Amino acid sequence: MSIHYPTGQGPTNRKIKRANHVTLRQASYSKRGMSLEKEINDSNQYYLATHQAVIHKKPTPIQLVKVDYPKRSAAVIKEAYFRRPSTTDYNGIYRGYYIDFDAKETRNKRSFPLKNFHQHQINHLMACQEQGGICFAFIKFTTLDLLYLLPATKLFDYWQSQKNGGKSSITLATIKKDGIKVEYGLNPRLQYLPAIDQLIAIYKKGEKHE
């Protein structure tokens, strides 16, 4: 299938080879744990089924260009365009609060590269935060099996510092200090609502001091 990107350029052969390499590498680690996206999606289904929260992954906006129908019961997408850059991965509602967040993973053991975020994602989180939304990023250190909820306000500080010539990554030690650790359990596997509860408490405390 041919997919065209918002810049008008398709992926290079080098990028395609790298994507295939990553897919194989991820498959080789499948026994060590599922991807962060899978963990979040499964937890979201549990939270929805138990009436605790309504949070879903946002669909990627795609414009279909060419579709073949080899069978009446099957359609094959041959060509498509990303209509616009995506914003963040997830949104929904919890305890009456609008929730919006992105999920990122890194195999680095000491720091998280800020290049994993994009300016339009930061702009989106800022806009949601200004309207009273609870915004954050999940950052997972896959090799260490560590996951943290990083408040969007902290992410904005790091992002702005980078633009002003500061560090292009966030150290694990800093994320441990400024973030909220998300614990793993049995059902759901990713028990992240308690972490959001802590973020809401911080948010409400800040409102009282304004």
pLDDT tens-digit readout, 128-143: 999 999 999 999 999 9
Count CB neighbours of 104 within 10 A: 17
User: Rounded CA gap, 35 and 17, in Å?
Assistant: 21
> Strand 90-94 and strand 111-113: pairing?
unpaired
* 18 vs 86, higher pLDDT: 86
> Strand 2-4 and strand 74-82: pairing?
parallel
Residue 46's nearest CA partner among 190, 198, 200 is 190
Residue 120 is predicted with a pLDDT of 92
* 65 vs 166, higher pLDDT: 166
Q: Let me know: does 88 contact 121? Beta carbons within 8 Å.
A: yes
Mean pLDDT across the chain = 81
Residue 61 is predicted with a pLDDT of 52
Q: In which element (H, E) is residue 36 found?
A: helix 36-49
> Strand 183-184 and strand 190-191: pairing?
antiparallel
Residue 196 is predicted with a pLDDT of 97
pLDDT tens-digit readout, 72-119: 666 665 554 444 456 898 999 999 999 999 999 999 999 999 999 999
Q: Let me know: does 58 contact 87? Beta carbons within 8 Å.
A: yes
- Average pLDDT rounded to a whole number, residues 8-32: 41
Residue 156's nearest CA partner among 81, 209, 94, 102 is 102
- Specify the pTM: 0.72
Residue 79 is predicted with a pLDDT of 57
Q: Six-digit token pair at 5?
A: 């990107």
Give strand pairing partners of 82: 62
Q: Let me know: does 134 contact 99? Beta carbons within 8 Å.
A: yes
Local structure of 151: helix, strand or coil: strand
User: Rounded CA gap, 157 and 130, in Å?
Assistant: 15
Residue 206 is predicted with a pLDDT of 74
* 58 vs 3, higher pLDDT: 58
Please state which of the ranges 23-27, 61-65, 88-92, 154-158 shows the lowest mean pLDDT. 23-27
Terminal Cα distance for the chain, rounded: 53
Q: Please state whether the peptide bond connecting residue 188 to the residue before it is cis, i.e. omega within 30 degrees of 0.
A: yes
User: Rounded CA gap, 159 and 109, in Å?
Assistant: 20
User: Rounded CA gap, 23 and 198, in Å?
Assistant: 35
